[in-house]
Chains A and B, each alone.
Chain A
């Protein structure tokens, strides 16, 4: 039996994909909906490699080279080991403050104003409303009138900026990290926790900060509580 390098590489790639999908690590890189696609792709790769190895053992060694030259790997295929190397050695974390700092904290105008009917049931001065950072970052700028005078609770990680400013941040994902968009809310009135620390903050709506490229949502923070990172770090 000949050593089947191609099969070996494919088994490792397939196993890595299956491992990502089953362990939940995939949530660092892609949206939750891709789990089953990853699992299927990984299993198909493993089956393919196993089938190839089995076919190899059945083939007689003498006649093994009737043009089936796939035992030696196409040279490009060695590159497939680089992402495996990155996964095993670097163990890339979910996007955090570093990625957010590369983007502008300005909230883009929503294409379609979302329903905020929940505000009607929440009188001013009531307990803080729990909101997704991506919703708050947009509404605090574009729905000022309904947000004014209310208390909110946000959960995100800390992105420090210049002059002691810091943002409660979440990254929004539509497919994978390549399209990750940072949603940032400026936290006022408290000193910044360490970079990338996950926090739950409560506070009052505040007038957005004006920048040359637009307005940034802000919150006058009353309490800051360090929390552990959620299973899905993205929104």
Chain B
């Protein structure tokens, strides 16, 4: 098997995994053995001879910049993804479902704001919150509340708010506006989910794996393993998309529309989707976009943690593509409108 074959076959896998609720393919011992040996030989071979074999192939500057971006986004997200799957596995294995029933208000419409506010406790970027909210749904939390948590956690946690304060020194109103808008957007989308009512058919409910009959540590180990492998694969897709857009889209197109408020809010929102910058760092990028109004930069910081190409890939992998294609545009529209409103009010 040549490395080119592997990349090709890997490139076609997203389609096959997008089928509803694919069970992990069960391999025969023999097949598994072949896959194991081939993977081992491939990886060790690449480690030893990779650079010699491909010497002179990947020399184009653009390709190398792309590879740096791609590896950079993946590496940066890796610790947060590990934190996310660790927490989600712990929730699945050690926290009884009855805990959430007690902790959250019975009525879903009331559970949404509580879940939004509890986003404060997860100090990570957006990659961590996807597996955690999947685990919440898995533990019987109403999807609307889990969605509210998914959207608020990466935006209003202390690390993100602190970095926003550092990036905009002497302008605490920016921090307040960011927290208020993100919190509002997460609640609105949670309630929207309740109102539309048919969410269930779009959402691929994360499967309640290994429910009974095994030890807690077994459940912990296998759900962490499964979540990491699954989310990790989709993270790679998202990182590739973000790297491509980073390299292909020239940043100079920003300068032509800075003047128009409505257009600039839309544009910076779109930029946040394309660049997929970690929510702990996006405030610094927003601070450097000085040709734009504060409202437009607020939109950048509100949209970034809740919709971007990396997240769309992760959500498609976790909750199913039918969910992702509806959820991402809805989130984008609500986030942009809320930014306009809060920007007009506070900034």
Contact = CB atoms under 8 A, between A and B. Distances in A.
Interface in B98-148: none
A74 interface: yes
A36 to B, nearest CB: 9
A111 B281 contact: no
A164 interface: no
A41 B10 contact: no
Contact of A52 (B75, B86, B221, B285): B221
B187 interface: no
A76 B210 contact: no
B255 A88 contact: no
A21 B252 CA distance: 34
Contact of A55 (B27, B76, B221): B221
B20 interface: no
A9 B39 contact: yes
B24 interface: yes
Max chain A Cβ within 10 angstroms of own Cβ: one of B22, B42, B73, B168: B73
A124 interface: no
A108 B82 contact: no
Nearest to B16: A75
A70 B13 CA distance: 17
Contact of A40 (B79, B167, B317): B79
A3 B36 contact: yes
Interface in A19-42: 20, 26, 28-30, 34, 37-38, 40-41
Interface stretch (A94-102, A149-157, A219-227): A94-102
A91 B47 CA distance: 11
Chain A interface residue count: which class? 35 or more
A19 to B, nearest CB: 10
B125 to A, nearest CB: 8
Max chain A Cβ within 10 angstroms of own Cβ: one of B43, B46, B247, B281: B43
B255 A83 contact: no
A85 interface: yes
B289 A108 contact: yes
B81 to A, nearest CB: 8
Contacts of A26: 75
Contacts of B290: 108-109, 111
Given A104-B255, A179-B285, A76 B17 contact: yes
A85 B1 CA distance: 14
A80 interface: yes
A89 B29 CA distance: 31
Interface stretch (B224-232, B261-269, B319-327): B224-232
B291 to A, nearest CB: 8
Given A17-B78, A44-B86, A104-B255, A75 B71 contact: no
B236 A80 contact: yes
A116 B12 CA distance: 55
8 contacts: A75-B22, A76-B234, A79-B233, A81-B39, A81-B43, A175-B76, A175-B280, A178-B72
Please provide the 5 A-B residue pairs with the shortest distance between their CB atoms, ordered closest to farther. A76-B233, A175-B281, A3-B36, A177-B72, A176-B76
Interface of B: 3, 6-7, 9-10, 13-14, 16-17, 22-27, 29, 31-33, 35-37, 39-40, 42-43, 46-47, 50-51, 53-54, 58, 61-65, 67-76, 78-79, 81-83, 86, 167-171, 210, 213, 218, 221-222, 224-226, 228-230, 232-234, 236-237, 239-240, 242-243, 246-247, 250-252, 255, 275-278, 280-282, 284-285, 287-291, 317
Given A98-B64, A102-B250, A111-B290, 19 more contacts: A5-B27, A5-B39, A6-B229, A8-B40, A10-B225, A38-B79, A45-B82, A49-B225, A51-B221, A52-B221, A70-B225, A92-B67, A92-B70, A97-B61, A104-B251, A174-B285, A177-B68, A178-B73, A179-B277
